Structure formats: C-alpha cells, structure tokens
Amino acid sequence: MKEEKLMVDGKRIDGRLPEQLRDIKMKLNVVTRANGSAEVKFGKTTAIASVHGPRALFPRYLQESGTGILRIRYNMAPFSVNDRKSPGPDRRSTEISKVIRLALGPTIFLEDFPKITIDGFAEIIEADGSTRVTAINALSLALAAAGIPMEDLVASCSVGKIDGTLVVDLNGKEDNNSEADMAFAMLPNKGVISLLQMDGALTKKEVLKLLQSAKESCMKIYEMQIKVLKDFYKGE
Ligand code: CDP
C-alpha cells in the first residue's frame, strides 16, 4: 500500500519532472590501489567501483584457456540503508552481481585475455534507489580508467511507473512504492541493450515508451561518462 502520493501537480516527491534524472556526479580514480576506479552518484545513491586486472586467475582450475573472465561483486554497505543491512553476500547481491556482469561483459574483449581475470567491485555507500544501475555506470568508467580494451562504454538507468506516471531514475521511495520499475543498460554506440529487468505490470505501449525514455536517459549519462573521462585525461 502506498503511504503517500508520489506525484503532486505533475512533480515527484523530490521536485523532479517525470523525465528528469537526479543530479549526477562522476569522479575517476578514487581508489589508489585499483587499476581503475570511479565514484558515481545519482542523487544520494552512491557507488564506488574498483577494477583490478587484467591479472592471473588462481586457482588454476578456474582459468579458461580460450578467454578471460570478468568477475563482479556488488555489495551494499551495512550503513547504506535506513534499516541496517547485515554484512556479507545474500541472494539479492548475488543476483545483482550476476546481472551487472552480464550487462558489462559484451563490451569487453575478454577473448584477448585467455586464463586471465578482470575483477570489478561495486560498493554501495548510500542507497536511495537504482543502486544496480549506478553501480554499472561506475564500473563502466572504472573499466575504462583501468585501460581495459572495450568496444563501448555501458550506460545504465532505471525507469518505471509511479502513481500512474511514467518516470526515469527512481529514487528509493519511488522504487519501493512503484507500480513497475525497470533496470536498463545499453552500449550507446552499438545500440545494444545489455540489461533489462522489470518488476510490476505495464502495458506494451508503456514498455515501449519507457524503453525510449531509458535510451534517451542513457545517452545523457553516456555524454557525462565521456566528459569525465576526457577531463581526467586532459588533467582538468
Ligand atoms: O537498488 P536497486 O533499484 O538496483 O535494487 P532493488 O532491490 O530494487 O532495491 C531498491 C531500493 O530499495 C534500493 O536502492 C534501496 O534504496 C532499498 N533497499 C533497502 O532499503 N534495503 C535493502 N536491503 C535493499 C534495498
């Protein structure tokens, strides 16, 4: 049951319009011991991504002779949510780690790294909705910062339906009280969708409209990713 209205006079509880992303901040190389790292904030949702590798994979039986592998660990800090989250992996984080790996995998030339692993960690420091997509944006930047050969970046956002209105980038309250929400990721240049998950019920027309909004939002996020990478390498 909804506790409060999520849309009032065409605006959302945080004052945004339906198609408006939250304030987005991106920073590169925030972890000195990583080969590449990034911090991405969507409003209060904060993800720190750290990429290690390409490096030798042990134990050896995990190695694949014809290709490298990508390993991803998504983790939500105990203090990242209102009700303390018990530390350590759970079913949710295992599933999210897997879908993030599948969302990023298509862009990496893993076949160039037989027997090798690339390890990506996404730590959620503060969670206010859409943490998996924030983690994907941060990991995509961290992979690029680590110099991993990639075909494209991966840009990601959430979309959904709240109080009968189609919206982009759901915050925590919207996510928990939504009629439907979708997590979406794409390779912007290739036009390939690498993540599509949905909870709730939508008509076909609504799904198509949300896919269009998700693509447009991902293109905006992609522009920001490119800018932060260019600024970093120009030394700004
Ligand atoms: O974060 P994301 O939308 O990718 O995944 P979710 O499982 O749909 O979680 C939605 C939101 O619920 C999170 O972003 C958090 O704000 C909140 N949440 C929470 O408060 N406590 C948890 N143990 C898990 C999620």
Cβ–ligand 1 distance for 130 under 6 Å, the answer: yes
Beta partners for 68? none
* pLDDT at position 44: 98
**Rounded average pLDDT over 217-232:** 97
Between the CA of 72 and the centroid of ligand 1 the distance, in Å, is: 18
Strand pairing report for 116-126 and 69-76:
parallel
Residue 3 — very low, low, confident or very high, per pLDDT cuts 50/70/90?
Answer: low
Closest C-alpha residue for ligand 1 atom 7: 92
Could you read off the pLDDT of 73-110 as tens digits, one per residue?
999 999 999 999 999 999 999 999 999 999 999 999 99
CA dist list (Å): 8 to 4, 17, 111, 222: 10, 10, 51, 30
Question: Relative to the CA of 172, which ligand 1 atom is closest?
Answer: 16
Could you read off the pLDDT of 58-81 as tens digits, one per residue?
999 999 999 999 999 999 999 999
Closest C-alpha residue for ligand 1 atom 14: 129
Topology given in CATH for the domain delimited by 12-234: Ribosomal Protein S5; domain 2 (3.30.230)
**Rounded average pLDDT over 107-120:** 96
Cβ–ligand 1 distance for 77 under 6 Å, the answer: no
Question: In which order are the strands placed within the sheet that holds 24-28?
Answer: 24-28, 36-42, 45-56, 116-126, 69-76
The domains of the chain are located at: 12-234
**Does pLDDT of 199 surpass 70?**
yes
**Does pLDDT of 21 surpass 90?**
yes
The model's pTM is: 0.97
* pLDDT at position 74: 98
Could you read off the pLDDT of 134-184 as tens digits, one per residue?
999 999 999 999 999 999 999 999 999 999 999 999 999 999 999 999 999
